Chain A
């Protein structure tokens, strides 16, 4: 097994465009979602407006059933839009596509494939012109990044839930999406594993700076990871209730965040919102 360095990847395969920008990456305009029911239409989301800048990490919190996941799957293109529009870099989205990578709540790996094959499934699709060796290198690089350098050839069904979600993270980053959508990716994990995976996620995100939208129930997770926390009102007709800027410098460590003076102010703000 050859060790792949970061330079190899950035030099050979991926042109890493990184400049600070105020460019809007993801734009939700007057978004609406309606489910028709026998008793009339049920409006899940209405008048939802949100702009997410390039290289921004946004977390979304709100009560269960408020439509967070609906919103995310609409951005992913997996759920049709009832009104308004969603655009990525000014272009309206058309169905799902690899420009919007998704990390699902369940790891959703193909259990009959090895972790490497699972990552390659996406890489092969996104880099069809790269050589086989290059694609292998990309997949292995990201698996190394999530700490799975010893599990390339393990079947996904043999991995623990936490390890599977690591492969899920590697798979999502390896396809170099413009936007990364995370739907409560750590919701099913125990708190210890959750902490580990948050660290891995933030570490790899610091390098890649992929615009990210993440749904979470966990207030601490929301603050630790985000540049902005978006609070959604309870459904029906959910919309953005409040937005909180998190002004911690990056790269962050868990310790520095917890010891920061503003941490409890932020935390109180979020909890107050959720309790009202």
Chain B
């Protein structure tokens, strides 16, 4: 009982409360009253997921038929009856060389997902073999003061995900380091506020693409002597600059709208500036700062794809773009896989921020 209680606390805390209900169902601990909420929280979402997959399947099928009919019609017009029949037979046989290229069905996407995982396993094995083969040589090269030989093969899908996460966290960290201190200064000083206000208002709505170009212009020149690939640097700086505005505005607002009562207490007690900021102003604006950081992280993840694509920086964005350019038979399905992975990771990042917010914030009701 105690164990399930703690599990319940933990899962509720991180916003995945239905797991507890699910567990109770299997351990037979479910009360009648809870059944209703169980139905609503677990069965209804599951049903809606199934419905979504069903609709998707039907939609994909009819798109497939439209595309197939069009192809056959075209073959008939251009090359005559024999070619049309051959094409029809080829499509029906499922041969990959003549499949209509359209929205993939759920099962195709699932197959692609599996094939991406298989691909990852192959590449990982390849990498491990490479590392083993070059271990002795690399040790020797390092001893001689030369650079080690690194694996330069194609990154797998999983590698791309981690690369994207690295970029987004680097960008998020940059946004945090710029926006929080700057927001505090702006919030505290009306002079700074009017100095920065135009700046915020003008740059906040600028598109990720333009940020990328701006960062590209600057970083390219700054790193002119470096032979290193600057695409990672460019993309994480662009992500940071794109996404920091929510945190900047929220921090400034949180700091400038601290409850007047708290400020009066600080005045009556004659707290010093430093103490006032760290004991009163910052803790009281923490909920708003975290709301800002949560928005920043989700914006960072959203713009990341576009920026990676532009910067040709390895990651999910580049993966999507390459698959689109590639135009192979399963490319469309792989793009949809990437779409789901992006969505699910975005959701998990949001939950992560919510958990941290619950942890540090005094006002538990604020965190939504």
Contacts and interface: CB of A to CB of B under 8 A. Distances in A.
- Note whether A and B form a binding pair: yes
A76 B284 contact: no
A167 to B, nearest CB: 12
Contacts of A113: 283
Interface in B238-274: 259, 261-262, 264-265, 267-271
B279 A100 contact: no
A98 B270 contact: yes
A102 interface: yes
Interface stretch (A30-38, A80-88, A103-111, A261-269): A103-111
A155 interface: yes
A33 to B, nearest CB: 17
15 contacts: A78-B264, A96-B264, A96-B270, A97-B270, A101-B268, A102-B264, A104-B261, A104-B264, A108-B262, A110-B283, A111-B362, A112-B286, A121-B269, A121-B271, A121-B279
A101 B264 CA distance: 11
Contact of A110 (B262, B264, B267, B270): B262
B126 interface: no
B280 to A, nearest CB: 7
Contacts of B362: 111-112, 155, 157
B73 interface: no
Specify the main secondary structure of chain B where it touches its partner: helix
Given A111-B363, A112-B284, A112-B362, A125 B271 contact: yes
Contact of B265 (A95, A108, A112, A155): A108
A175 interface: yes
A62 interface: no
Given A95-B267, A121-B265, 7 more contacts: A78-B268, A97-B268, A98-B268, A100-B268, A112-B283, A112-B284, A122-B269
Contacts of B267: 77-78, 95-96
Contacts of A101: 268
Contacts of A121: 265, 269, 271, 279
B264 A108 contact: yes
Given A121-B279, A155-B362, A157-B362, A108 B269 contact: no
A155 B362 CA distance: 9
Contacts of A108: 259, 261-262, 264-265
Interface string B217-244: 0000000000000000000000000000
B268 A106 contact: no
Contacts of A97: 268, 270
A125 B283 contact: no
B363 A102 contact: no
A175 B269 contact: yes
A98 B269 contact: yes
Contacts of B259: 108
B88 to A, nearest CB: 71
Nearest to B364: A157
Contact of A102 (B262, B268, B271): B268
B330 to A, nearest CB: 53
A113 B363 CA distance: 11
Contacts of A175: 269
A111 B363 CA distance: 8
Interface string A131-161: 0000000000000000000000001010000
B288 to A, nearest CB: 13
B163 to A, nearest CB: 38
Interface string B267-299: 111110000000110011010000000000000
B269 A110 contact: no
Contact of B284 (A78, A95, A110, A122): A110
Nearest to A108: B261
A139 to B, nearest CB: 13
Contacts of B280: 110
A125 B274 CA distance: 13
Nearest to B259: A108
B228 to A, nearest CB: 45
A97 B268 CA distance: 5
A106 B363 contact: no
A166 to B, nearest CB: 16
A76 B268 contact: yes
Interface string A118-132: 000110011000000
B363 A96 contact: no
Contacts of B284: 110, 112
A77 B267 CA distance: 9
A125 B269 contact: yes
Interface in B292-351: none
Q: Which of A104, A112, A125 has the most CB of B within 10 A?
A: A112
A107 to B, nearest CB: 8
